[in-house]
């Protein structure tokens, strides 16, 4: 059984994914003001290929929507998903102006 949680300190934290009470993956994040920056997505050895990165992304986006945050996708995985599915993430994707 999978479960996710968002664990935040004052600024930095993680979106954590557990499978049968074992930590299966995480996203490194920070929240400053209305910006949620995601730096890295990692799925632990032995848990790859089961869609867990997608579960983490779903939790990240849900958290951002629930807390009215915009996501800065510095993580290559998250950035790639946002580019592949812009309509799905447009409401939370903070596209920096050049």
Write out the chain's pLDDT in tens, 98 residues. Answer: 788 889 988 889 999 999 988 999 999 999 999 999 999 999 999 999 999 999 999 999 999 999 999 999 999 999 999 999 999 999 999 987 53
Do 74 and 35 form a contact (C-beta atoms < 8 A)?
no
Q: How far apart are CA 12 and CA 80, in angstroms?
A: 22
Domain carrying residue 44: 2-88
Phi first, then psi: what are they for 70, rounded to 5°? -105, 135
pLDDT of amino acid 98: 39
Q: Is residue 32 part of a domain?
A: yes
Q: Is residue 82 part of a domain?
A: yes
Q: CATH number, domain at 25?
A: 3.40.630.30
pTM higher than the cut 0.85: yes
Q: Is residue 95 part of a domain?
A: no
Total structural domains in the chain? Answer: 1
Q: Is residue 97 part of a domain?
A: no
């Amino acid at each position: 059984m999978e479960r996710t949680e968002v664990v935040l300190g004052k600024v930095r934290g993680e979106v954590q994914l557990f499978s049968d009470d074992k930590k299966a993956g995480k996203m490194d994040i920070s929240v400053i003001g209305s910006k949620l920056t995601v730096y890295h997505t990692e799925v632990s050895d032995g848990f790859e290929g089961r869609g867990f990165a997608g579960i983490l992304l779903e939790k990240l986006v849900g958290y951002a929507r629930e807390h009215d945050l915009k996501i800065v996708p510095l993580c290559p995985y998250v950035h790639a998903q946002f580019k592949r599915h812009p309509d799905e993430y447009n409401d939370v994707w903070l596209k920096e102006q050049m």
